[in-house]
Amino acid sequence: MVEMSQRQKYDLKRKIEELKSSRGKHTELISLYVPPSKQIFDVNSYLKNEFSQSQNIKSKTTRKNVLSAIESIMSRLKYFKKPPENGVVFFVGHKSVEGDQTQMVAYVIEPPIPITTFLYRCDSSFYTEPLEQFLTEREIYGLVLIDRRECTVGILRGAKTELLKYMTSQVPGKHGRGGQSQRRFERLTEIAAHEWFVKCGEKISEIFQSEEEIKGIFVGGSGPTKQYFVEEGYLHYEIQDKIIDIFDTGYTDEFGLKELVSVASESMTDLKISKEKKVMKRFLKEVTKSEKSLAVYGESHVKKALEMGIIDTLLISEDLRKYRLFLKCQSCNYSENRIISENDLQNFHPQACPKCNSSTNMEIEDKIDLVDEFSDLAEKTGAKVHLISRNSEEGDSLYMAFSGLAGILRYAVDI
């Protein structure tokens, strides 16, 4: 299973934001998902068919726009002999811009994780849900459902739940016949239950020990058995240590797996947030130190520290949304760069050159997302990068109080 890096997630998230901001006047934006297993030839036939179907669209402009979008995809498809490793997604169409105008946009995205299903959609917005699913945490969790009758072992990879093992027991019901044999019956039942738990414990431990990446395990079931099973130590201690929480579920079979995931989802989010909080707390503790502080923050200081190679951990707010603009004078080649927020970028117009005062204004030569700039620098110097959401007070303070960029140094230095 491919894990996406935080950086890939961020890039994908930004791309999705961009796609979502595009709106068609009518149903004229096309989304096409091509999984790696699909033959390009088949995709082409599919599009040809869509093309002839679309000739029937009543509105003249919509028809024209849809047909040109399909044509555009078909011409782009020619560059592929076969789909890339993870498949490819096309988003093409005429989006509405100011007034009554439309503008043709085309995105070709090779996702960081394989696409599984072929999908064609023509709508007034781009269909981004399958890509968005990649963004939900792809961490791996173990799932166990147990009572005296059934035991189900499953795994959650990202948003996908898999059944790994389903077992049923021979343990008789608690209520036997009355009379003298009652005690003997109960004793036999308890022995059978114990054997059942031993068997389940061994199987569960064996399954999860072969899954190295498991972040934690959730246990569910309808009665008190699950608690008993966990507390009595039927699981291997390494597996036992990974149990995050125990929940009540109505089912202990495959249905129960989905149920368990849904009740445990809050714990999973908390886990992510608590990881972010932890690293932020480390930073905040350094900030308050009056001497030998390892904290550094703000664009210029963090950049300098990164260039010096002394940042151990880089903290970037997920909501940073800033760019560095590279400006150049076309007459004297004077250049400068400046940081600007995404909101200000729309209305930004370069000024005259401060050096030669040329009558033509400076031009924007290039722009780079600060997250990319800083992550690249961090990668070069082996600093760990944490993208921090604003879902915790600590995460919010990174954005609000430290301009979204901070670092923990390897050793204390005056910058």
**Rounded CA separation 20/370 (Å):** 22
Member of 15, 121, 355, 410 binding Zn ion (CB under 5 A): 355
Query: Which part of the chain contacts Zn ion (CB under 5 A), choosing from 119-127, 353-361, 367-375, 394-402?
Result: 353-361
Member of 104, 159, 332, 401 binding Zn ion (CB under 5 A): 332
Does an H or E element contain 39, and which?
A: none
Query: Which part of the chain contacts Zn ion (CB under 5 A), choosing from 52-60, 103-111, 137-145, 327-335?
Result: 327-335
Query: Which part of the chain contacts Zn ion (CB under 5 A), choosing from 121-129, 195-203, 228-236, 332-340?
Result: 332-340
**Residue 356 binding Zn ion, by CB under 5 A:** yes
Token readout for 268 is 């999973």
Distances (CA, A) of 12 to 68, 127, 135, 210: 26, 14, 8, 31
**Residue 104 binding Zn ion, by CB under 5 A:** no
First and final C-alpha spacing in the chain? 42
Q: How many residues bind Zn ion (CB under 5 A)?
A: 8
**Residue 328 binding Zn ion, by CB under 5 A:** no
Please name the amino acid found at residue 172. P
Total Cβ atoms within 10 A of residue 114: 15
Residue among 53 and 331 whose Cβ is closer to Zn ion: 331
**Residue 304 binding Zn ion, by CB under 5 A:** no
Please name the amino acid found at residue 111. P
Residue among 172 and 350 whose Cβ is closer to Zn ion: 350
Member of 279, 316, 329, 398 binding Zn ion (CB under 5 A): 329
Residue among 27 and 361 whose Cβ is closer to Zn ion: 361
Cβ neighbourhood burial of 289 (10 Å; 0-12, 13-18, 19+): exposed
Phi-psi region of 58 (alpha: psi -120 to 50; beta: other; left: phi over 0): alpha
Member of 334, 364, 391, 412 binding Zn ion (CB under 5 A): 334
Q: What is the tally of helices (H) and strands (E) in the chain? A: 12, 16
Member of 32, 43, 200, 353 binding Zn ion (CB under 5 A): 353
**Rounded CA separation 353/327 (Å):** 9
- Can you give the binding site for Zn ion, defined by CB under 5 A? 329, 331-332, 334, 353, 355-356, 358
